[in-house]
Structure 1
Amino acid sequence: MLDAVSAHRIVDFFETGFRHTAWRLETRREYAADTGTDEYRRFLDGIQPPPDTDGPWFANARAQTGQGKRIERVRLIDEPPTDNQRYLLATTPDNLAAGEDIRYMTRGQAEQLQLPDFDFWLFDSRVLAAFNWDNAERRMELTEDPAAVVRACQARDAAWHHATRYEEFARRVASPM
C-alpha cells in the first residue's frame, strides 16, 4: 500500500494524483455524502436538484479535463434503481458539464462480468485507490501492487466496453424524479 487519502481530501488528491486518466467503478446502492444533504431530502420530495457546476469537485474536474486529462466512471444501477441511484442519475449532467464521461450498467450485467463489488478509482493504469467505507474516516487506500492494478484494469476494460453512455441509459430508465 502506498498511502491512504481521507474522503474529505479526495478533491485535493485529484489536483496532483494523476497525469492522464482517472477511472472509477461505483458499486454502492447509497452514498452518505448524498443522502445526508438537504438537496437529497428535497429530491425525495420530488424537487429536481438545482445545477451545481461551481462546487469544488466540478471546478477541479473542469480544470483537469481542460488540461486534456480524462475522468471517467461506470455506475452500477439496480433494477429498480435505489433512491440514491435515481438522485445520481438526476445530477449526472453536472458531472458531464464539468468534462467527465459517466456510463451506466445494471448490477446484473456487472455480476455476469464478475466485476468487483467495491468502489475504486484507477489512476493512469498504475495506482489503484480502493474505497474503505467501513472505516469511520472513509478513505481511499492507494496501492501500486501490480496484481491488484492489473485486476482493476481488466475490470475497467470490461465495464467500459459493456456500459451505456448516460444519455442513452437515462432514456431507457424511468424518470429519476
Structure 2
Amino acid sequence: MSTVFTSLDDAEFNLLFREFRQSVFRLETLQHYQVSYEKDEFARFLTGESRGEFPGISGWISGTVIPARAARKSMHRVHVVEEPLSDYVRFECAWAYEHTVPAGEDVRVITVERGQWPDNLPRAEYWLFDSELLVAMNYDEDGTFRFAEVITNAAEVALARQWRDTAMELSIPYREFAERYDGLFVEQAR
C-alpha cells in the first residue's frame, strides 16, 4: 500500500521538502491551481491590488528554498505554460516566481500555444525527490488539489526521471521567459 497525502499541509508530505538530500524536481502542467494558501492573494491580484505580504510564498522561501540553497541542495521546477497566459499563470509569475527565483529556486518554463502540448511530455503533475522518490500530485479539472501519492514502482520512477530530463531540455529559464513580457511580472510584483 502506498502513502497518500490528502492535504498540502500534511506534516509527512512537508517533511519530504526538508529531508531530501540533493535535489527536488517539480513538473507543473496546469494553467490554474486552486489551493487555499493563495486564494486571497489571487483574488487581490485579479482586482489589481499590489502584492503585499504573501504568507504562502514567504513560508516556502524561508522554510524551504533558502534552507535548501544553504545546504547546497537544488530545487528545480518546470511549468508548461500555454499562451496566451491564463490569469493564474500571470499571478504565479508575478507574485511567486519573481520571488522564489532570486531566493534560489530554478524555475523554468516551456511555452506552447493553447491546445498544443510538447512531444514526449505528459500532462502529469509530480514531485521527484533525489531522483528516487516520486510523489504524483492529483488535481480536479478546476485545479483543486485532491491528493498526492507516493509511487514506489521502479518503472514509474524511471519514467518520471525521463520526463524530468525532457522537461529540463525543452525549457528555458524563468528570467528568459519573463523578458518576453517586457517587465509585466516585475511591475505587478511590487
TM over 0.5: yes
- Residue equivalent to 1:165: 173
Compared with structure 1, are the counterparts of its residues 108 and 84 closer, same or farther at alpha carbon in structure 2 (3 Å cutoff)? same
Separation (CA, whole Å) in 2 of partners of 1:25 and 1:65: 20
Unaligned 5+ segments in structure 2 are none
- Percentage of matched positions with identical amino acids: 32
- RMSD across aligned positions (CA): 2.5
Count of residues paired in the alignment: 175
Compared with structure 1, are the counterparts of its residues 62 and 123 closer, same or farther at alpha carbon in structure 2 (3 Å cutoff)? same
- Residue equivalent to 1:94: 99
Matched, 1:74 2:78: yes
Q: Quick check: 74-83 or 139-148, which moved more?
A: 139-148
The residue type paired with residue 159 of structure 1 is A
- Post-superposition Cα deviations, 1:3-48, rounded to whole Å, max 9, x if no partner, equal 12331124333122x2111001101111112796222112112234
Compared with structure 1, are the counterparts of its residues 149 and 108 closer, same or farther at alpha carbon in structure 2 (3 Å cutoff)? farther
Unaligned 5+ segments in structure 1 are none
**C-alpha displacement at 1:144, in angstroms?**
2.3
Separation (CA, whole Å) in 1 of partners of 2:53 and 2:119: 34
The residue type paired with residue 4 of structure 1 is V
Matched, 1:4 2:4: yes
Q: 2:158 aligns with which of 150, 155, 173?
A: 150
Separation (CA, whole Å) in 1 of partners of 2:112 and 2:157: 22
Separation (CA, whole Å) in 1 of partners of 2:58 and 2:38: 17
**TM-score normalized by the length of structure 1:** 0.86
Contact 2:84 2:113 (8 Å CA) reproduced: no
**TM-score normalized by the length of structure 2:** 0.81
